[in-house]
Amino acid sequence: MFPTDSVSLASIPTSFLVGIGLIIITIAAIYQLVLYPFYLSPLRALPGPALGPNLLIGRFGDILNGEAGIPQREWVKNHGKAIRVVGPIGIQRVIFSGAESLQRILVTNWISNPRPGFMRDTLGLVAGYGLLTVTGDRHKQMRKAMNPAFSISNLTAQTDMYYDAIDNLLSILNTRVEKAQGGQGSVEIMYEWMSKVTLDIICLTGLGYEADSLRNPHNELAQAYEELISLQTGRNLAQLIVILSIPGMSAFLGSRFAWRRRKLLAKIPLLSRAAILVDAMHRIKAVSASILREKMKEAEHLGNNEDTAAKKDIMSLLVQARMADLKSHKSVGGGMGPAPYTMSDTEMMDQVLTFLGAGHETTASGLAWTLWLLAQDPVSQQRLRDEITPFLEASSDGLRKVRLGYRELKDLVWLDCVIQESLRLYPPVPMTFRQAATTDHVDGVVIPKGTLYYIPIRVVNTLKDIWGEDAEEFNPLRWLPENNFRQVPSTLTFLAGPHACIGKTMAIIEMKAVIAALIANFEFSPSYQGQKAIPTAAVTMKPKDGMPLLVNKVVK
């Protein structure tokens, strides 16, 4: 008898199979960590920081442990405006910081350089599947439908909606400062207050909903957002990043199936933070859905009468636009012909959730950093107070009321200089990513399909060849009209191109309204000697310590 050729798998010793498996994994690891990045990648000719010391994580450790955008700034200083950074697990990122390369990636070829899938999945999970998650024609269609909500006329009408929340903030801070012992002022964790005031404003302007998180910390939406924010620090964030990088995980976590099993998920150590995320998002969606239902009912019963049309919050505008589109379609063609693009209920809700997510913490961070910079620079702070003083209104509660409208906020020169400079130096979104969907040539470099671009917002905002030797310092004077920087489209704070921030003007006007009111009433200074700013390395660059500042009342 001869042995047969077909040997059954079961007859092969397990140790042999394990050995083969280990050899395959080792070869794959050597290819991914050494062969490809060192010897084969077309990107290997690009300069950049050395690949080591630990090949498995590459430079990822510097990024995680450093301040947002700062390791990258050092690499750009040392290696130039087109560099390669490797890690973790051999993943290559390319950082272009020259104007022409960024123009090509973000503007000219924006469709073939979308946000990477992992970013869209994560954003969709935590901020709804709105503008932040789509690209190409779908994006153009959505953006067109959303633009009217961000028009100057609507922003002008909305400015008045900021002041209830701002007045609440003033009165709370005033009470706390007056109660502070010894009349020495009160140390306040300013990021927390900024987060509450911006949440109240965006809930009102986005949903027409009074969250009043400043006075009512138990409000459902406020609590759910607070839980979401708590996930973005230290170990919580690290755990979430690991979980969300598992393929299919964000879709799973966004499902009803996962929500029903959230208590079970909470018991699994690696999924405990994800369970908090699932629960918080479900509650936020439930509140938004019920607000949308109310608005739809109201619009159907009342039609576009004055009451409904007077509502300027974004969700009401979307409901009104949908009713108007459907009505005109029926009256023009009797309902025949192609239906106009109208958003479904889910799409409308996703958009508004996106605005709540994208517009809340970013603006809060921008405000906290502005207060920090003013606390360091009493001269600029006083100059701002002097600029606002002529607009103060008489008030009986000991506060200095200031209710500036859109036009006035836009025209106050020093206020604008301060806000522009703060957003340049501490951009609330310090970086973002894009991914090459096709092989491309950028700045003479062949970029293979799939390459990740790190878009270095904070780096570009502080390049010395654009901003001068004091590029890394706070100098609002550079924005005065007699200086020329206004003509240079050189900050990337709100990005550029078709995906540039739709809420830019809204955010700037809102920041101006809050800062003007605060500076008119209070003096801000560091809370202890030698205090340093500690920005996190997270996607939204927040102060790690919540930004404690000493707050005193302005002496009249």
- Shortest distance (Å) from residue 22 CB to ligand HEM: 40
Q: Is 315 in the site for ligand HEM (CB under 6 A)?
A: no
Site for ligand HEM in 93-122 (CB under 6 A): 115
Q: Is 317 in the site for ligand HEM (CB under 6 A)?
A: no
> Which is nearer to ligand HEM, 229 or 501 (by Cβ)?
501
CA dist 80 and 94 (Å) reads 12
417 annotated ligand-binding residue: no
Residue with tokens 């030698």: 530
Tokens 């000219």 locate to 108
Q: Is 429 in the site for ligand HEM (CB under 6 A)?
A: yes
The site for ligand HEM, by CB under 6 A, has a size of: 24
Q: Where are the alpha helices (DSSP H) in 503-546?
A: 504-521
Tell whether residue 506 is a contact of ligand HEM (CB under 6 A): yes
Measured from the CB atom, the residue of 400 and 424 that comes closer to ligand HEM is 424
Indicate which single residue of 507, 509, 514, 547 sits in contact with ligand HEM (rule: CB under 6 A).
507
DSSP string, 442-472: ETTEEE-TTPEEEE-HHHHHT-HHHH-TTTT
Distance in Å, CB of 404 to ligand HEM, minimum: 18
Q: How far is the CB of 133 from ligand HEM (least distance, A)?
A: 9
Binding to ligand HEM by CB under 6 A, coded x per residue (else -) over 57-96, reads ----------------------------------------
Q: Which helix (H) or strand (E) holds 125?
A: helix 117-127
Binding span for ligand HEM by CB under 6 A among 72-80, 178-186, 216-224, 493-501? 493-501
| 496 touches ligand HEM by CB under 6 A | no
Which neighbouring-strand residues pair with 454? 433
Written as one letter, the residue type at 301 is: H
Which residues, listed in sequence order, are joined to residue 543 by a DSSP beta bridge? 535
Contacts to ligand HEM from residues 338-377, by CB under 6 A: 354-355, 358-359, 362-363, 366
Task: Identify residues 119-158 at the interface with ligand HEM (CB under 6 A).
Answer: 131-132, 143
Interatomic CA distance for residues 424 and 349, integer angstroms:
32
Torsion of CA 180, 511, 529, 551, to 10 degrees: -10
Number of H helices, E strands in the chain: 24, 9
Among 467, 494, 522, 524, binds ligand HEM (CB under 6 A): 494
Please, is 469 exposed, middle or buried when counting C-beta atoms within 10 Å of its C-beta (0-12, 13-18, 19+)?
exposed
**Does residue 448 contact residue 42 with C-beta atoms inside 8 Å?**
yes
Residue nearest to ligand HEM (CB): 503
**Which stretch in 177-185, 229-237, 290-298, 490-498 sits in contact with ligand HEM by CB under 6 A?**
490-498
User: Token pair for residue 531?
Assistant: 């205090």
Instruction: Decide: is 515 part of the binding site for ligand HEM (CB under 6 A).
Output: no
Q: Phi and psi of 81, rounded to 5°?
A: -90, 0
Q: Which stretch binds ligand HEM (CB under 6 A): 242-250, 259-267, 326-334, 423-431?
A: 423-431
Q: CB–CB of 163/403 below 8 Å?
A: yes
Cα torsion for 514, 516, 522, 526, to the nearest 10°?
A: 80
Q: Is 414 helix (H, G, I), strand (E, B) or coil?
A: helix
Q: Does 428 bind ligand HEM (CB under 6 A)?
A: yes
Nearer to ligand HEM, 355 or 414 (CB): 355
Binding-site residues for heme, please?
501
List contacts with ligand HEM (CB under 6 A).
115, 131-132, 143, 354-355, 358-359, 362-363, 366, 427-429, 432, 493-495, 499, 501-503, 506-507
